[in-house]
Structure 1
Amino acid sequence: MKPRPIVLVSRHVVLVLFAVAFLIPFVGIVMAAVTSSDPADPGYTFENFLLAWEEGRFSQLLVSSLIIEALVVPATIVLAVLGGYGLAVLLPPGNKWITGAFVIGLTLPTELVVIALYYNLSAAGLTNNYLGIAFAEMALFLPFGIYWMHTHFSGLPRELVESGRMDGASDLKVLTRLLLPISLPALTTLAVLFFVWAWNQFLIVLVLMQSPTKRTATAGLGFFVGEYSTDVALLSAASLIVIAPVVIVYLVFQRSFVEGVTQGAVKG
């Protein structure tokens, strides 16, 4: 049954209002970033981006962010897939209790464990390096990843798994050849979420990474704000530099991301 015209119009009006509410601050940041801060030479300029790039050492910070992304996203995806598949398809003893434990892990705030995490990783020699941050972020993201993939695999037809087993396929082949090819939207959505979360992570990097040259772009932006708190144009340019990779990743994977979110909503 098609919705009535008044319902469709109302939906579009609400969506437009949300879009405007989101875009107005963003447009304001863009305009501030390209506005000259020199009173003698008013107008628009892109020099703020060059100056912010040099003063904030974003060439080093972005490399650090990409290194951590390369460590965190693929490894967490693999672990989430294996964990979700094991709990949803292989059904080990106590799988419901294990799934519940991961759900409880979703409620654990970073602020509660970051100090203990620092001392534990420091004792293992994993502070002030990328690997320690990667391990911490993987542990932080994994409960959601396993819960997401568990929900996804639980919604797939059980006949797919049974038919693969009848053909003599091992559990690993059932996963890689039957389930993963039809799970690309869910995997893409999870990968984009992990990328955004790892990119925006501030507290863990601030505590675990003491070297200024090895901090991520987001952590570096925090120190940049403290140093140039009165230069609105420079701060706006630096902010756009930091959020640009996130926007690019979302635009590239937008279709698969929305499809994965929609599938999850329908199954839920």
Structure 2
Amino acid sequence: MTAMLSQIRRDPVLLTLWLALVALAAVWLAPFVFITFTSLKSTAEVMGSGAFAPPAEPRPANYVEAWSRGGFDRAFLNSVQVTVIKVPRGLAIAALAAYALARMHSRWNKAVLLFVVFGTMIPFQVMLAPLFTLVNGMGLVDTYIGLILPYLAFGVPYQVFILHSFFRGVPRELSEAALIDGASHFTTFRRIFLPITLPVLAALLILDFVATWNEFAMALVILQDKDMWTLPLGLMSFQGQFSNDYGQLNAAIIITVLPAVLVYLIFQRYFVSGLTSGAVKG
């Protein structure tokens, strides 16, 4: 640590870079500090103190009251149900599809891959109206299947694109040796490709979990029954009812984002290495 500090002092470029990183980190952390401090204050203290002033008398009861008043227990379970069903299945579908496109030769592979990649270029916001018409026509409004299927449709193409690039970079001799020994493509995928793909899958799991957990617009269109609302919709409802109770409102925000933060912290060591592997191979 001492040697690193000494090197930074001697190198003006490195010092400038570190100062820029510290300033950038401060900008990113400022909203989190504000929300955390505000979540522990009473309304009177919020109005009478500075935005970044720590709470004089912390009120952890704000979290309990926000959880109870906002009915977040039901919304939390709804979000868990949707995320636990969607994220693993999306990764499984994407991994199998990417392997097939990268390793199972067919004259249609490039056309299918191009079609899949094209799906990453369509912003789902422009598809909300026709999507609702399609889901409603299938009788899937106010069902989690009606929500999970569009989630898969918009999430899988990006995952296929990343995993396909990674699979193309794996030495061909590994899969060919397994196939010559009589292994099926599924066995080759499960025993050779899946273990070395775990860092990439962990990175994609983080991205997919956060995107699914925080998704708002599609859930708002498809889930009209409040008893089926996910956490972002529950937070919207809480904000509409208790917008002047700043302490509990910020506590509700932390309750909503905390699971995504925890998942990132658990898998963050795989995040950079996984995305780098998927980006540079192939």
> What is the TM-score when the length of structure 2 is the normalising length?
0.88
Q: Is the 8 A contact 1:86 1:92 kept in 2?
A: no
> What fraction of aligned residue pairs are identical, expressed as a percent?
35
Q: Is the 8 A contact 2:175 2:188 kept in 1?
A: yes
Counterpart among 53, 70, 91 of residue 84 in structure 2: 70
Q: Per-residue CA shift, 1:7-31, capped at 9, x if unaligned?
A: 5444433332222111111001000
Q: Per-residue CA shift, 1:67-108, capped at 9, x if unaligned?
A: 001110111011100111111111322222221222221121
Q: Is the 8 A contact 2:147 2:218 kept in 1?
A: yes
> Aligned ranges for residues 22-61 of structure 1 at < 5 Å?
22-38=28-44, 43-61=57-75
Gaps of 5+ in 1: none
Match of 1:189 in 2: 203
Q: Is the 8 A contact 1:36 1:42 kept in 2?
A: no
Q: Per-residue CA shift, 1:116-169, capped at 9, x if unaligned?
A: 121221222211011111111111101111111111111211111111112221
Q: Is the 8 A contact 1:127 1:209 kept in 2?
A: yes
Distance in 1, Cα, partners of 2:65 & 2:187 = 52
Q: Per-residue CA shift, 1:40-93, capped at 9, x if unaligned?
A: 996221111111111111000000000001110111011100111111111322
Distance 1:155 1:7, change over 3 A: farther
Match of 1:236 in 2: 250
Distance in 1, Cα, partners of 2:16 & 2:183 = 51
Q: Is the 8 A contact 2:163 2:278 kept in 1?
A: no
Match of 2:233 in 1: 219
Distance 1:102 1:10, change over 3 A: farther
Match of 2:262 in 1: 248
Gaps of 5+ in 2: 1-9, 49-54
Q: Is the 8 A contact 2:165 2:279 kept in 1?
A: no
Match of 2:104 in 1: 90
Distance 1:97 1:6, change over 3 A: farther
Q: Per-residue CA shift, 1:150-190, capped at 9, x if unaligned?
A: 11111211111111112221111110001111110011111
Q: Is the 8 A contact 1:127 1:208 kept in 2?
A: yes
Q: How far off is 1:6 after superposition? A: 4.4
RMSD over aligned Cα atoms: 2.0
Distance 1:119 1:43, change over 3 A: same
> What is the TM-score when the length of structure 1 is the normalising length?
0.93
